[in-house]
Amino acid sequence: MDAAPIRPTKSPLAQTQEDFTRFLRNPTEVAIPKGLDPRRMRVYQGLVYENILSLLSGFFPVIDSLFSEEKWRALIAEFIRDFKAETPYFPKLGEEFIYFLSERKTLEDEPPFLLELAHYESIELALYISKENHATPIAEGFIHNAGLSLSPLATPLSYHYPVHQICANFQPQEPPEKASYLLVFRDNQDEVRFFELPLSSYQLLCQINQNPGLLAKEYLQNLCPENHPEPNGFLQQGMALISTFYDKGVLIQS
Amino acid sequence: MKTPSAFQGAGLGLRRSIIDSLYENIPNAIDFFEVAPENWINIGGRLGKQLRSISEQVPLITHGLSLSVGGVHPLDKDLILNIKKFLDTHQAPLYSEHLSYSNDGGQLYDLLPLPFTEEAVHHVASRITQVQDILGRRMAIENVSYYVVPEKAMSEAEFINAVVKEADCDLLLDINNVYVNSKNHQYDPEEFIRQMPAERVAYIHMAGHYVEDDGFIVDTHGADVIDPVWKLLAFTYGLIGSLPTLLERDFNLPEMEQLLSEINQIKDLQKSQEFPHGRSAHSAN
Ligand SMILES: [Fe+2]
């Protein structure tokens, strides 16, 4: 008897499932497992595909609207074929799709902002369903001597592309000179809101996020350029900004 | 307030799209709700609060989608522990899953058919046992709609009986799935229900489905319940008693009024049945 090549033996059940799912993931290249009715196997393939398609179209309505139907369907087919999404949780499927996009090269005929737009589209749901709660507001006036931190329900974002403006009629093919800075925040009515930020506000929020617990004054002193002509004015404006963020609940006591 | 430790009567599958209109004003006809834990675990914010409000008012039972209890890849322990926490938080009287698999090393998010073999019986039963051990309670397993049988060493009814017996678990009997399978695989649905382990049936599912031009049926949960399925439900009640029954509707959701009329139809059937053995609604553990 010939020596068989050494390979791990698969149980019949494992083999059955592998043959079955290989076809579902790649129906154009993989044959329908022997003995199974082709029409009914295509029903399964259609159910798997349409379910994932409708979930992802729900997560990424802007991308869906920018792609032709054919291209969007092809991208979903590629996702199913090439990517093993691990999360058992349906609201997390959008994040799996972003991993998939980030591991793959954006094609020439796809918008260059695809990954950034996908990220932007996913952040609203992420905050909407976040289990974090709002901090209880603390007494007025306390802000000057409280250590600050960023609310877990607030996320400062920066994108090369103005993802918040992209639509069918506005699809920049190159990043503009200036990046876009945004704040996405779940307010105390549990509504998610987006704000455009000037660079300086973005930097302030990032600094507080990276290094929480300092006083308002300390963050502002760190941010104030050494040769600033009017450091007092800078501090005053900065305090006003911090108060506003604080009042809205974007900044909280650390 | 209804006791959250048991459930009875008629329930409705709770979708995100209807919770907003329900949580402050639960119609009297709805005795309990069912959710897929994989849609609700780690959900905070407005939706999380609304769900909590619901489970404080009526029993919330759970019907999983992603466990892949029939799959050959390792069970997701993290998911099971999160389900356990979820069951505790909502004092959910019951957790069920499908007699199928959905994972091939990644999720396909669908209910794929198991072969009806000895090997599959032992495999799935041992995994159900593991899940029950971690949860510290018995779970129910649901008969699914299937369109092909990858291998058939026994009948579907024999397969289900063997799994339930070996895993010492409960059965969630989906009447619509019985009907769909009886059409797609040409068998007698009443005979099939007679073969089910009556004492193990924890509760019942009802749903609508989609019939293709040539009579082939795809189980979509996207249509009203049809007459033959109502008849089959009445037959089942007559055989094993008026068990708690849930109306599943996942797509094409109609007005609440239409859903409530189906809920009331369930309740009417339940009332018109005597409990043959004076049995009470099943409670987990
Ligand atoms: Fe069901």
Assign B276 to helix, strand or coil: coil
Q: Is residue B277 part of a domain?
A: no
- Tell me if A131 and B44 make a contact (CB, 8 A cut-off): yes
**Residue A16 touches partner B, C-beta closer than 8 Å:** yes
pLDDT value for B179 = 95
- Closest in A11, A131, A186 to B42, CB measured: A131
In the predicted model, is pLDDT for residue B158 greater than 60?
yes
Q: To the nearest whole angstrom, how far is the Cα of B172 from the nearest Cα of chain A?
A: 21
Per CB-CB distance under 8 Å, the chain B contacts of A128 are 45-47
Average pLDDT estimate for B101-112? 98
Kindly indicate the confidence band of residue B31, based on its pLDDT and cuts at 50, 70 and 90.
Answer: very high
Residue of A nearest to B68 (CA): A88
How much distance in Å is there from the Cα of B64 to the middle of ligand 1? 10
Average pLDDT estimate for B107-111? 97
In the predicted model, is pLDDT for residue B276 greater than 60?
no
Residue of A nearest to B75 (CA): A88
Q: Which range among A87-96, B129-138, B221-230 shows the weakest confidence by mean pLDDT?
A: B221-230
pLDDT value for B213 = 67
In the predicted model, is pLDDT for residue A137 greater than 70?
no
Q: What percent of chain A has pLDDT over 90?
A: 84
Q: What percent of chain B has pLDDT over 70?
A: 94
pLDDT value for B59 = 97
**Residue B215 touches partner A, C-beta closer than 8 Å:** no
Q: To the nearest whole angstrom, how far is the Cα of B222 from the nearest Cα of chain A?
A: 13
Q: To the nearest whole angstrom, how far is the Cα of B28 from the nearest Cα of chain A?
A: 28
Residue of A nearest to B118 (CA): A13
Mutate to test the interface with A, among B14, B107, B216 (most CBs of A within 10 A): B107
How much distance in Å is there from the Cα of B63 to the middle of ligand 1? 9
Please state the separation of Cα A199 from the chain's center in Å. 21
- Closest in B47, B67, B72 to A14, CB measured: B72
Q: CA torsion B261→B265→B271→B273, rounded to 10°?
A: 180
- Closest in A25, A85, A129 to B47, CB measured: A129
What would the pLDDT profile of A163-206 be if each residue is shown by its tens digit? 999 999 999 999 999 999 999 999 989 999 999 999 999 999 99
Per the structure, the complete domain to which residue B230 belongs is given by 4-272
Q: State the amino acid at position A105 in one-letter form.
A: K
pLDDT value for B282 = 45
In the predicted model, is pLDDT for residue A90 greater than 60?
yes
Average pLDDT estimate for B252-276? 86
Per CB-CB distance under 8 Å, the chain B contacts of A9 are none
Top-tier CATH class for A134-254:
alpha beta
In the predicted model, is pLDDT for residue B281 greater than 80?
no
Q: To the nearest whole angstrom, how far is the Cα of A74 from the nearest Cα of chain B?
A: 17
Residue B141 contacts by C-beta under 8 Å, 6 or more apart in sequence? B69, B96, B97, B98, B99, B128, B160, B163, B164, B167, B169, B170, B171, B172
How many domains, chain B?
A: 1
Per CB-CB distance under 8 Å, the chain B contacts of A93 are 109
pLDDT value for B283 = 41
How much distance in Å is there from the Cα of A224 to the middle of ligand 1? 62
Greatest Cα pair distance in chain A:
91
- Tell me if A40 and B104 make a contact (CB, 8 A cut-off): no
- Closest in A24, A80, A186 to B45, CB measured: A186
Q: Show the tokens assigned to A189.
A: 């009515």
Assign A233 to helix, strand or coil: helix
What would the pLDDT profile of A40-86 be if each residue is shown by its tens digit? 999 999 999 999 999 999 999 999 999 999 999 999 999 999 999 99
Mutate to test the interface with B, among A90, A100, A187 (most CBs of B within 10 A): A90
Mode of pairing for the β-strands spanning B10-13 and B32-35: parallel
In the predicted model, is pLDDT for residue B279 greater than 50?
no
Q: To the nearest whole angstrom, how far is the Cα of A31 from the nearest Cα of chain B?
A: 15
Binning chain B into helix, strand and coil, the percentages to the nearest 5 are 40, 20, 40
- Closest in A16, A18, A91 to B43, CB measured: A91
Between CA B35 and CA B23 the distance in angstroms is 14
Q: To the nearest whole angstrom, how far is the Cα of A103 from the nearest Cα of chain B?
A: 16
How many CB atoms lie under 10 A from the CB of residue B219?
23
DSSP for A144-194? GGS-EEE-TTEEEEEESS-TTT-BTTB--SS--SS-EEEEEEE-TTS-EEE
Mutate to test the interface with B, among A10, A17, A96 (most CBs of B within 10 A): A17
What would the pLDDT profile of B162-194 be if each residue is shown by its tens digit? 999 999 999 999 999 999 999 999 999 999 999
Q: What percent of chain A has pLDDT over 70?
A: 94
The mean of the pLDDT values for chain A is: 93
Tell me where in chain A the CATH 3.90.930.50 domain(s) lie.
Answer: 134-254
Task: Read off the CATH number of the domain in which B229 is found.
Answer: 3.20.20.150
**Averaging pLDDT over each range in A215-224, B148-157, B244-253, which range is the top one?**
B148-157
- Closest in A16, A24, A91 to B151, CB measured: A16
Structural contact between residues B51 and B43, judged by C-beta atoms closer than 8 angstroms: yes
What would the pLDDT profile of B48-82 be if each residue is shown by its tens digit? 999 999 999 999 999 999 999 999 999 999 999 99
- Closest in B112, B120, B123 to A20, CB measured: B112
Q: To the nearest whole angstrom, how far is the Cα of A41 from the nearest Cα of chain B?
A: 7
Residue of B nearest to A84 (CA): B106
Between CA A101 and CA A197 the distance in angstroms is 27
pLDDT value for A135 = 76
pTM: 0.91
Q: Is residue B281 part of a domain?
A: no
Per CB-CB distance under 8 Å, the chain B contacts of A11 are 72, 119
pLDDT value for A132 = 92
The mean of the pLDDT values for chain B is: 91
CB proximity under 8 Å: A 56-95 to B: 80, 83-91, 93
Between CA B200 and CA B88 the distance in angstroms is 23
pLDDT value for A5 = 62
pLDDT value for B187 = 96
How much distance in Å is there from the Cα of B257 to the middle of ligand 1? 22
